[in-house]
């Protein structure tokens, strides 16, 4: 129908192109086996199933968490043998962030700064779905550009789409038509239909909640980051103009 908004496309992050395991329990079982030293059964005491469930409750993807952790632990053990509990916890934190849990961002970045200066860097890179050679650039860029990953330039600066049509499990009955930056890094207000919504996002994850009233715009707008709204789409996009 001419002039009608498109409702088919689903929201998502373009950095999440790699596949997710279908069997979460099997992936976590592999992690337990690989991360338990033969003479130290205490390494198996971390409840990974609970961690995956908590990731889902916190807005992340439990399947992506299991996939990322499985990949990282396999690479780490291939490089240096079974990993101890402390290193497993580091990789769990990275996997939680990688799966879209925004509140783990600061902790994960702190752990990443430590891991990238050790032999554990290869496991950390695998958890994040990166080549080990890209890990330093990623960690450095994330400190000033939360939407950067090595593939962003190939996507012409587009990072993620969000929102969607209410009839297809999205939040909006009308296409988004206005936006403004808020005074928190990675936070934006987006108008759709009869209300405003707050978006918090980075390269891996996003959270969208309805606001009670119209928010004030921030005076510290990053001119390189914008929200792209189109009148024919229920999705909006995060876009970075200076994509490199």
At 218 the pLDDT is 80
Count other Cβ atoms within 10 Å, centred on residue 24. 21
Q: Can you tell me the mean pLDDT for 131-151?
A: 96
At 9 the pLDDT is 60
CA-to-CA distance for 79 and 216, rounded, in angstroms? 51
Q: Can you tell me the mean pLDDT for 135-163?
A: 96
79 or 113: whose pLDDT is higher? 113
At 208 the pLDDT is 96
CA-to-CA distance for 27 and 69, rounded, in angstroms? 8
Does the pLDDT value for residue 180 go beyond 90? yes
Does the pLDDT value for residue 20 go beyond 60? yes
Beta strands in the chain (DSSP E): 12-13, 158-163, 176-181, 187-192, 195-201, 206-210, 225-229, 235-240
**C-alpha torsion 50→55→59→60, nearest 10:** -140
In three-state secondary structure terms, 80 is helix
At 1 the pLDDT is 36
pLDDT in tens, 28-80: 999 988 876 444 444 445 789 999 999 999 999 999 999 999 999 999 999 88
In three-state secondary structure terms, 164 is coil
Q: What distance, in Å, lies between the first and last C-alpha atoms of the chain?
A: 38
Return the percentage of the chain with pLDDT > 90, whole number. Answer: 77
Give the list of residues 6+ apart from residue 234 with CB closer than 8 angstroms, or none.
Answer: 5, 6, 7, 163, 164, 165, 170, 172, 174, 175, 176, 192
pLDDT category of residue 142 using cuts at 50, 70 and 90: very high
């Amino acid at each position: 129908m001419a002039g009608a908004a498109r409702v088919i496309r689903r929201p998502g992050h373009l950095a999440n192109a790699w596949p997710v395991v279908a069997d979460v329990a099997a992936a976590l079982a592999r992690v337990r086996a690989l991360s338990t030293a033969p003479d130290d059964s205490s390494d198996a005491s971390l409840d990974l199933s609970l961690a995956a469930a908590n990731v889902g409750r916190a807005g992340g993807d439990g399947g992506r968490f299991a996939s990322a952790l499985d990949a990282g632990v396999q690479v780490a053990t291939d490089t240096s043998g079974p990993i101890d509990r402390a290193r497993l916890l580091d990789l769990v934190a990275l996997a939680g962030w990688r799966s879209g849990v925004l509140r783990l961002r600061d902790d994960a970045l702190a752990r990443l700064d430590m891991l990238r200066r050790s032999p554990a860097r290869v496991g950390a890179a695998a958890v994040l779905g990166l080549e080990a050679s890209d890990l330093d650039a990623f960690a450095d860029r994330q400190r000033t550009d939360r939407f950067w990953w090595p593939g962003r330039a190939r996507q012409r600066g587009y990072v993620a789409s969000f929102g969607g049509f209410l009839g297809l499990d999205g939040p909006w009955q009308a296409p988004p038509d206005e936006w403004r930056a808020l005074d928190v890094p990675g936070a934006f207000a987006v108008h759709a239909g009869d209300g405003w919504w707050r978006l918090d996002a980075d390269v891996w994850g996003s959270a969208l909640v309805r606001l009670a009233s119209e928010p004030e715009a921030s005076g510290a707008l990053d001119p390189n980051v914008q929200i792209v709204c189109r009148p024919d789409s229920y999705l909006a996009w995060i876009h970075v103009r200076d994509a490199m």
